[in-house]
Amino acid sequence: MSIAGKNLRINGERLWDSLMDMAAIGPGVAGGNNRQTVTDEDAEGRALFQKWCEAAGCTMGLDQMGNMFATRPGTDATALPVYVGSHLDTQPTGGKYDGILGVLGGLELIRTLNDLDIKTKHPIVVTNFTNEEGTRFAPAMLSSGVFAGLHTQDWAYARTDAEGKTFGDELKRIGWRGDEETGARKMHAFFELHIEQGPILEAENKEIGVVTHGQGLSWTQITVIGKDSHTGSTPMPMRKNAGLAMSRILEKVDEIAWSHAPHAVGAAGHIDVYPNSRNVIPGKVVFTVDFRSPSLDVILDMETRLRAEATKIADDMGMEIAFEKVGGFDPVSFDETCVAAVRNAAESLGYSHMNLISGAGHDACWVNRVAPTAMVMCPCVDGLSHNEAEEISPQWAAAGADVLLHAVLETAQVVG
Ligand code: HGY
Ligand code: MN
Ligand code: MN
C-alpha cells in the first residue's frame, strides 16, 4: 500500500457534481444524454472538460483525431505517464455515466492528489477518446483504434454519417482537430473506469468489477435489395419484400446466438428501411448485425453461419444481398500486473469485488494493444445502459474512482 493508505479516498460529492454538470450538456429527451460525437454538444462538453482540467493545473494535449490528454506532471519528466480515461460522447439515447464516469473519475483522481499535494514519479494523464460509441460514425472505438494503429487516420476521417458528412470534416468544424500525431504518445499503463453496462455486479452484490477480459465484437452490415412497390395493389406472389427477408435473417441471428449460449449474444440495433413509407413494400434494407462472444472461434462461427443463412434466404426470395464488415475486435485479455493493481486496490479499500469479462467494448480494448491496460467497473441499476434511464449510485461512482485512484498510485509510484 502506498503512503496513500486506506484512508485516501476521492471526493465523491465533487465527482457526482461534475457528472451532473456534464450531464446538463446535450440532454436527451428522457433524462439521459444525446451528446453524439463531433456535434456542437460534444464540443461544449469538451470545452467544459478542458476548463476543469486546466483549473486542476493540467496542460491539455490534442491529437489529430481529437483525443484529449490532460497531463499532471510527475517528479520524473522522463518517466512514461500513467493514463486514465474513457469517452465523453454518448449514444443518441445514452445515459449520463457510460464513458463519462471514466473521464471525470480520472479528473477527480487529479483533483484529489492536488488537494493532498501527493506527488507521483510518473506523470498522470486524463484522456477523452473521440467517438467511442461508433453510432454516428462506425465503427465503435474509432479514435482509440487509430491511436493503437488498427485504423489509418485517412480511413477514419472518411467515415460518413447518415447525412453523408465525414468524420474528419465534422471534427474540424467543431474546432477539435489537434496537431499532435495520433498514437505518438507512449504509455506506462492505461486504466479505464466504466460502468458495467450489464447486470452481474448488482446481482452478485459486488461494488467493483476487476475486469480480466473483454469479449470480442463483430459488426456485419447487410444490404438486401428487393423491389419497392404498392402495398395494396401488388399481388403477394409478385412481391420482393426486402423487409420480410430482413426479418427472416434476424430470426437466424437470434438462433445463431442462442446456439452458443450462455455467453454469445446477437442482434441488429441499426436498421434502415427504404423508402420507409407506409404504403410501399420495402425495396431495400440496410442493417448491422452485432455479434459478441468471449471466444474468437464462436465469433467466427457466428459470422460464417450468418452469411450462409442470409445468402440462402435472399436467394430463395429472389433478392440481392451484400455484406460488409464495418467493425470488430478480437476478445481481449488485460494486463495481469494492471489487473492485480485493480484487485489490490479493491481489497485494501475493503470494497466487495469479483472478476468480470466486459460485455461491452471500450477504448481500453484497443489501448491494450499498445500499453499494459486494465479496467475498473462499478455496477449500474438493473444492468441497464445505452438507455436514457441508465443509473448508478453516488456510492458506486465513488468506489470505482477510489479503486482507480489506488491502482494508478500503485502504478505511478507515489514520491515522498
Ligand atoms: O458497442 C459497445 O460495446 C460500446 O458501448 N461502444
Ligand atoms: Mn462506453
Ligand atoms: Mn456505450
DSSP summary character for residue 4:
T
Nine-digit cell at 23?
A: 450531464
What pLDDT does residue 4 have? 55
> Phi then psi for 163, rounded to 5 degrees?
-95, 5
Please write the tens of the pLDDT for every residue from 125-161: 999 999 999 999 999 999 999 999 999 999 999 999 9
Q: Is the CB of 133 under 6 A from ligand 1?
A: yes
What pLDDT does residue 6 have? 66
Counting residues of the chain whose pLDDT is more than 90, the rounded percentage is: 98
Counting residues of the chain whose pLDDT is more than 70, the rounded percentage is: 99
Atom 1 of ligand 1, residue of closest alpha carbon: 361
Average pLDDT over residues 28-45: 98
**214 alpha carbon to ligand 2 midpoint, in Å?**
13
The confidence band for 1, taking pLDDT boundaries of 50, 70 and 90, is very low
Q: Which residue has the cell 444481398?
A: 321
The 10 Å CB-count burial string (b at 16+, else e) for 64-95 is: bbbbbbbbbebeeeeebbbbbbbbbbbbbbbb
Q: How far, CA to CA in Å, does 172 sit from each of 51, 69, 93, 167?
A: 20, 18, 25, 9
Q: Is 378 exposed, middle or buried (0-12, 13-18, 19+ CB in 10 A)?
A: buried
What pLDDT does residue 7 have? 83
Of 129, 270, 362, best ligand 1 pocket probe by most atoms within 8 Å of the beta carbon: 362
Q: Which residues contact 342 (CB under 8 A, 6 or more apart)?
A: 191, 208, 210, 211, 374, 375, 376, 403, 407
Please write the tens of the pLDDT for every residue from 269-278: 999 999 999 9
CB 386 within 8 A of CB 39: no
- Partner residues linked to 285 by β-bridges: 224, 273
- Partner residues linked to 287 by β-bridges: 222, 271
Q: Is the CB of 359 under 6 A from ligand 1?
A: no
Q: Which residue has the cell 412481391?
A: 239
Q: Which residue has the cell 479496467?
A: 375
Q: Is the CB of 28 under 6 A from ligand 1?
A: no
Average pLDDT over residues 309-332: 97
What pLDDT does residue 55 have? 98
Q: Is the CB of 195 under 6 A from ligand 1?
A: no
Of 33, 87, 132, best ligand 1 pocket probe by most atoms within 8 Å of the beta carbon: 132
Q: Is the CB of 192 under 6 A from ligand 1?
A: no
Strand runs labelled E in 215-363:
216-225, 229-230, 265-274, 280-281, 284-293, 320-329, 332-333, 353-358
Residue 3 has pLDDT above 60, yes or no: no
CA 217 to ligand 1: nearest atom: 3
Q: Is the CB of 390 under 6 A from ligand 1?
A: no
**328 alpha carbon to ligand 3 midpoint, in Å?**
15
Q: In whole angstroms, what is the distance from residue 130 CA to residue 99 CA?
A: 11
Of 136, 196, 197, best ligand 1 pocket probe by most atoms within 8 Å of the beta carbon: 197
What pLDDT does residue 416 have? 77
Of 37, 89, 131, 133, best ligand 1 pocket probe by most atoms within 8 Å of the beta carbon: 133
CB 93 within 8 A of CB 38: no
CA 197 to ligand 1: nearest atom: 5
Average pLDDT over residues 51-77: 98
Mean pLDDT for the chain?
A: 97
Q: In whole angstroms, what is the distance from residue 159 CA to residue 152 CA?
A: 11
Query: pTM of this prediction?
Result: 0.94
CB 378 within 8 A of CB 208: yes
DSSP letters spanning 104-125: HHHHHHHHHHHHHT-EESS-EE
Instruction: Using alpha carbons, select from 293, 338, 339, 285 the residue that is nearest to residue 313.
Output: 285
Q: Which residue has the cell 456542437?
A: 40
**199 alpha carbon to ligand 1 midpoint, in Å?**
16
Atom 6 of ligand 1, residue of closest alpha carbon: 133
Q: Is the CB of 74 under 6 A from ligand 1?
A: no
- Partner residues linked to 227 by β-bridges: 240
Average pLDDT over residues 213-241: 98
DSSP letters spanning 270-282: EEEEES--TTEE-
Q: What is the dihedral of CA 69, 71, 76, 81, to 10 degrees?
A: -30
- Partner residues linked to 10 by β-bridges: none
Q: How many CA atoms lie within 13 A of 7 on its CB side?
A: 2
Please write the tens of the pLDDT for every residue from 281-304: 999 999 999 999 999 999 999 999
From the CA of 359, the nearest ligand is 1
The confidence band for 2, taking pLDDT boundaries of 50, 70 and 90, is very low
**88 alpha carbon to ligand 1 midpoint, in Å?**
13
CB 133 within 8 A of CB 36: yes
Average pLDDT over residues 156-172: 98
**414 alpha carbon to ligand 1 midpoint, in Å?**
34
Please write the tens of the pLDDT for every residue from 232-250: 999 999 999 999 999 999 9
CA 133 to ligand 1: nearest atom: 6
- Coil, helix or strand at residue 364: helix
Sheet holding 216-225, edge to edge: 265-274, 284-293, 216-225, 320-329
**124 alpha carbon to ligand 3 midpoint, in Å?**
25
Q: Which residue has the cell 479505464?
A: 192
Q: Over the Cα atoms of the chain, what is R_g?
A: 22
